Amino acid sequence: MPGTLNYAPPVITIDVEDWPQSSWDRDLPITQRAADNARRLLDLLARTRVQSTMFVLGKLAERFPQLVREIDAGGHEVASHGFGHVEIFKQTRAEFAADLRKSKDLLEQILGKPVRGYRAPDFSIVRGSLWALEELAEQGFEYDSSIFPVKRPRYGIPDWPLSPTRVQLSNGKSILEFPIASYRAWGKNWPVGGGGYHRLLPGSAGRWFARRVMQSRPFVFYCHPYEFDPREFAELSVKIPLKVRLHQGLGRGRFASRFVNLIRQFGGCRMIDFVEQKVWPDFQLSSLSGSAASVAAPVGK
Ligand SMILES: [Zn+2]
């Protein structure tokens, strides 16, 4: 139980989107199933009394504005997951700026309050798209949580700091970056912050990593409402190859119980609670500037 260790609760982040649209075909409409899954997760969080940060996809918010209000009414932080779920490295800076603006304007119009945080689709702020941090700061975002400091085929910046960092940008602004939780061992960083890793690792291993990370920095956990839905692939109307179904569906049946075990043991908080220093007020942010910040200069396409 919390109290025996001196740590802040995990930062619980949830990317609210629809699997077929976000991961299979960006042109598909958002389905009712996405809203149903999000509402089930809201119920679970209410029962366990944990508040989270929900990065809501604009395309989903457009179809289900009432769901966005329910997320906010539940005490969760509503942040942006962009509009169309196209990876940033596939967009020009102008395209990204427009997608970002559309999502922020929409959420702010629905809620009547500012949206302060952002997460990129598929962790697509990589070394070649660090210019996105400048665009985020220019549009008034206070923080970003898109960088995964691991080496993966499609995403990740393996030498990015593992702790939250204030990034000084070459446009004179700065932004707070909250990388997804990773754990350094045996000479490399392991992605222990949730998603597939949380589905596939034994629950006790996931909690062991969480505890280890929390000894020195916030544990930024991420998941999606569809990961709590084990029947999705059996009931989808779009045809998905077996290999993809196995990779994306494996472990969904035990995801809810693992998630509940994690938050029962450690609790959970919103990202904005950390930004506003309501949790871990004496945490020392590191800072990236000079040559590191010049990496963040716009490269465009
Ligand atoms: Zn996503």
**What are 194-243's pLDDT values in tens digits?**
877 778 888 888 899 999 999 999 999 999 999 999 999 888 888 888 88
Using the mean position of ligand 1's atoms as its centre, give its distance from the Cα of residue 107 in Å.
16
Using the mean position of ligand 1's atoms as its centre, give its distance from the Cα of residue 22 in Å.
6
Chunked mean pLDDT (size 10), the chain, 301 residues: 65 97 94 97 97 98 98 98 97 98 98 98 95 97 96 90 95 96 92 83 88 94 95 86 85 90 95 94 85 43 31
Neighbours of ion ligand 1 (CB under 5 A): 15, 17, 22, 121
pLDDT, position 268: 97
pLDDT, position 6: 66
Using the mean position of ligand 1's atoms as its centre, give its distance from the Cα of residue 15 in Å.
6
Using the mean position of ligand 1's atoms as its centre, give its distance from the Cα of residue 109 in Å.
21
HEC-encoded secondary structure of the chain: CCCCCCCCCCEEEEEECCHHHHHHCCCCCCCHHHHHHHHHHHHHHHHHCCCCEEEECHHHHHHCHHHHHHHHHCCCEEEECCCCCCCHHHCCHHHHHHHHHHHHHHHHHHHCCCCCEECCHHHCCCHHHCHHHHHHHHCCCCEECCCCCCCCCCCCCCCCCCCCEEEECCCCCEEEECCCCEEEECCEEEECCEHHHHHHCCHHHHHHHHHHHHCCCCCEEEECHHHHCCCHHHHCCCCCCHHHHHHHHCCHHHHHHHHHHHHHHHCCECHHHHHCCCCCCCCCCEEECCHHHHHCCCCCC
Using the mean position of ligand 1's atoms as its centre, give its distance from the Cα of residue 121 in Å.
4
- Homologous superfamily (CATH) for 11-295: Glycoside hydrolase/deacetylase (3.20.20.370)
